[in-house]
Structure 1
């Protein structure tokens, strides 16, 4: 293949602070899709980081047993069918004739290995694999046994990218990379999947290049030859790259630039209400604040303090000034279109500064207190700006929040270690069912079962655990939904988490690109097309 080199970024982008880099392009018929994102994938290890940017990029290289269709319903991928043969046993029939990029056959052994790997302590996908056991029936049939009845098992399999057991063994990658310890591993920079693209080169925080295998077993809407992924953390730089035709697709469009891009010639935008809810979380467990000063106490153990913080937040102002209208305010932790969503809970805690002061005084903090507020600066849309606005609003009721903003590469390991007193977080239920958020974000942490795996509050409320457990074991659907709704009503009244808003997700692209936007923010490369 002939190639030539041209400058990647124009002088406008250089002035914005991004050094120029060469871009290789193939012959006139080759199609290269250049994707710009707010941050890089954290690793090439498919079980090491449960962040959507990482999941999206790796889904171009790896396949899972199950995927989603355009209506967000489960559909076959590496599994051609599945059935619940017993209350706790699911049988998956696997697709024959599929090979990994190195030519090895895909079989049931690889599925069993991947599930076991996802259960390792360094895995961030324990929530999908905890407690599962496997029994291989034959090379292309496998039973997955759940610890209890689990109607969502096929949906859980969507998030588990299947690895080649022999490849992992040969390259010392039996366990996922330990991101928390900063471990370097073979699987962090190398990949071997069954997906439509293979990894050609990887320079973390700079550029990742994928190339079509030419032999993909599945259907593709387009015929894109090469995918180049560029992390562009600076908002103006990222937007300028699209406007100057130096990237083809932006998957993290700053809210303040949407109107400008909509009016730009040759550019089109796509948007959807995302399943993701942004909220503030707190340390519920410590007797004294780990980071802050509240007179030797931990004010966040008192619901009145959490309610006061919620009353102090002008969500409409955040929507209007920071998010430019691309947010839907809420005081709960569940977005619309999820089972268990109750519309009235969006406005249960109104903006009322005087009420906030009154609640703080009742809780014993008439003069407020100080606390460190941890926040990512490249994970959610305008995340640092949102946090700065929250700091100003809390100061008006006497809470001095010291903003501690950092890149997500440092932020999420910090949360994973529960090393925080107050933090910004987002929830995006992979099942569009509220039971997932209840299991993973409110129950007491249990690494064996996967419960509470993302509960960074460190809370331990036995009665809440029992109610969630009861809801997920309820077989009658109407009764199950009512129990979930009641749980969200309780959590919102208590302000277990302080809900802020549901994101509106926007992609922007050159007019010759079509990239459907999924409400879970998963860029499905198999749906993307690119005209000549």
Structure 2
């Protein structure tokens, strides 16, 4: 009798999962400000890419949309065995879109691929602390680190997109245009710069958890915010990201659309080119710049309030380092002028202020406002606001020393809760997005990242923040409030990490 009941239970469960797997509802068109640079999830650290890759690739760990806490995903559970050892249990019965079962072999292959010098992956730097992987069986393994690392789970939630080992049997370029993951959607077509189309994967392990997710998901890259808004109001698309404050009332007045706002993990800052000498190697000049900029004025007028004051590179989702007590430099023009007079450049100088144009509704206007404020202290900053591809080349040129003229970089960092990596990427001497170099601060960051005790680690990162502010190593400006416009017939809750996961969206 017990055996019969067990068989019946298995049958009903299978029937329920089969029903759920076939219960997709309709289509969804999402608009993002740009295209993904590639569909290969192991190469780049693009913010847009990191959003879209999750549609087709699962990570070991995911993030709760409301709390920012780590939650099980491909790893159904984990255990911290010691300061530098984590044990993971993979879900059983999971398959890649090519039919390959998920085992620990895919974990090893994904890691090897990221670390392969031929791939030239910028993600290699996120896993330098790995010592080795120890495989206990096909679904259990231990991640051994070279030193204690409390941020591993956050990194695995963001960058470790598990890819099918069968990829190595095909052309090396295949992952750039096709998908080979265990994720909820499979890429069916991609017209670069125009449209990506994804179809729900009938074999996704999470179908029973999200039974009414959209069957077809399209992504359209639209750079101009006015064009995005028009597409939403005319019904061409369902969800758009990146609204200007002046566009919000129009969307709310429309009977069929709504606006979602959520404090984001993204912060905006000014970075100084100090690694090759020049005016911004002078601490007094950097301090003068920060006191000269009226952050509150920019936040209230140009951003329309869609920004929050923040005086650090960490945010509430960071696993350590964030403190609500840290505030940005106050605006003090008299102090800024006095610091310039005390500096090695009392008569001022010419510089370039590099910024984006079109990625955010306010990006160029904010850069121009800051340039105007700097003129009051004798810094003639010419604004060079360009689209992202050119912007990336300019930042790289200043990072490598190809360009050495005095420059300020107006940029942002987001999508990450891993405290040491935030510093490494934005500010360290070798950071992929850094044009600054403070070797002693880099050392403070690395030491703080290796501390085991949460209280001691928090104190160490707060000390790093205080030193950063004292030295004016970075000019932290504000934390973005992310804005989304969407149709009212959707069940949609904006996430605080800039992601949009279609399987979390339902049609009413």
2:247 is equivalent to residue 270 of structure 1: no
Q: Return the match for 2:198 from 210, 231, 242.
A: 210
Which whole-Å CA distance do the structure 1 matches of 2:409 and 2:441 have between them? 22
Could you tell me which residue of structure 1 aligns to residue 284 of structure 2? 304
Equivalent residues, number: 471
Q: Return the match for 1:41 from 27, 30, 36.
A: 36
Give the conservation status (yes or no) of the 8 Å contact 1:429–1:437: no
Q: Shift of the alpha carbon at 1:111?
A: 0.9
Could you tell me which residue of structure 2 aligns to residue 239 of structure 1? 229
Q: Shift of the alpha carbon at 1:476?
A: 2.4
Which whole-Å CA distance do the structure 1 matches of 2:104 and 2:361 have between them? 40
> For each residue in 1:59-95, what CA deviation from the matched residue of structure 2 results, as whole angstroms up to 9, or x when unmatched?
0111011111242211111111212234322221111
Q: Return the match for 1:59 from 49, 54, 59.
A: 54
Q: Secondary structure at the match of 1:125?
A: helix
Which whole-Å CA distance do the structure 2 matches of 1:137 and 1:521 have between them? 36
Could you tell me which residue of structure 2 aligns to residue 500 of structure 1? 477
Give the conservation status (yes or no) of the 8 Å contact 1:42–1:409: no
Change (3 A) 1:242 1:360: same
Q: Secondary structure at the match of 2:228?
A: helix
Change (3 A) 1:68 1:334: closer
Which whole-Å CA distance do the structure 2 matches of 1:35 and 1:429 have between them? 18
Q: Shift of the alpha carbon at 1:501?
A: 0.9
2:137 is equivalent to residue 142 of structure 1: no
Q: Return the match for 2:87 from 74, 91, 113.
A: 91
Q: Secondary structure at the match of 1:325?
A: coil
Give 5+ residue unaligned stretches, structure 2. Answer: 1-23
Q: Secondary structure at the match of 2:247?
A: helix
Give 5+ residue unaligned stretches, structure 1. Answer: 1-28, 174-184, 288-297, 446-452
Task: Name the one with the larger helix percent.
Answer: 2
Q: Return the match for 1:123 from 111, 121, 124.
A: 121
Which whole-Å CA distance do the structure 2 matches of 1:328 and 1:106 have between them? 42
Q: Shift of the alpha carbon at 1:465?
A: 3.1
2:81 is equivalent to residue 81 of structure 1: no
Q: Shift of the alpha carbon at 1:222?
A: 3.2
Change (3 A) 1:473 1:524: same
What pairs with 1:248-287 in structure 2 (closer than 5 Å)?
248-287=238-277
Which whole-Å CA distance do the structure 2 matches of 1:31 and 1:163 have between them? 28
2:179 is equivalent to residue 199 of structure 1: no
Could you tell me which residue of structure 1 aligns to residue 17 of structure 2? none
Could you tell me which residue of structure 2 aligns to residue 457 of structure 1? 435
> For each residue in 1:358-417, what CA deviation from the matched residue of structure 2 results, as whole angstroms up to 9, or x when unmatched?
211211222211122221223344212211221222222221222222221332344345
What pairs with 1:405-444 in structure 2 (closer than 5 Å)?
405-416=385-396, 418-419=399-400, 421-428=407-414, 430-431=416-417, 434-444=419-429
Q: Shift of the alpha carbon at 1:496?
A: 0.7
Which whole-Å CA distance do the structure 2 matches of 1:286 and 1:120 have between them? 31
Q: Return the match for 2:495 from 518, 522, 525.
A: 518
Which whole-Å CA distance do the structure 1 matches of 2:479 and 2:376 have between them? 24
> For each residue in 1:276-296, what CA deviation from the matched residue of structure 2 results, as whole angstroms up to 9, or x when unmatched?
210010122103xxxxxxxxx
Which whole-Å CA distance do the structure 1 matches of 2:246 and 2:379 have between them? 28
Give the conservation status (yes or no) of the 8 Å contact 2:225–2:361: no
What pairs with 1:380-395 in structure 2 (closer than 5 Å)?
380-395=360-375
2:85 is equivalent to residue 104 of structure 1: no
Q: Shift of the alpha carbon at 1:464?
A: 2.1
Change (3 A) 1:232 1:439: closer
Which whole-Å CA distance do the structure 1 matches of 2:111 and 2:356 have between them? 30
Compute the TM-score of the two structures, normalised by the length of structure 1.
Answer: 0.84
Which stretch shows the higher mean deviation, 117-126 or 241-250? 117-126
Could you tell me which residue of structure 1 aligns to residue 166 of structure 2? 166
Which whole-Å CA distance do the structure 2 matches of 1:47 and 1:238 have between them? 29
Give the conservation status (yes or no) of the 8 Å contact 2:419–2:449: no
Which whole-Å CA distance do the structure 1 matches of 2:389 and 2:170 have between them? 25
Which stretch shows the higher mean deviation, 192-201 or 260-269? 260-269
Which whole-Å CA distance do the structure 2 matches of 1:73 and 1:327 have between them? 23
Change (3 A) 1:109 1:403: same
Which whole-Å CA distance do the structure 2 matches of 1:280 and 1:477 have between them? 29
Give the conservation status (yes or no) of the 8 Å contact 1:250–1:509: yes
Give the conservation status (yes or no) of the 8 Å contact 2:150–2:452: no
Change (3 A) 1:109 1:414: farther
Q: Shift of the alpha carbon at 1:343?
A: 3.6
Which whole-Å CA distance do the structure 2 matches of 1:221 and 1:500 have between them? 42
Could you tell me which residue of structure 2 aligns to residue 11 of structure 1? none
Change (3 A) 1:90 1:363: same
> For each residue in 1:440-470, what CA deviation from the matched residue of structure 2 results, as whole angstroms up to 9, or x when unmatched?
434442xxxxxxx345124142x32332233
Could you tell me which residue of structure 1 aligns to residue 465 of structure 2? 488
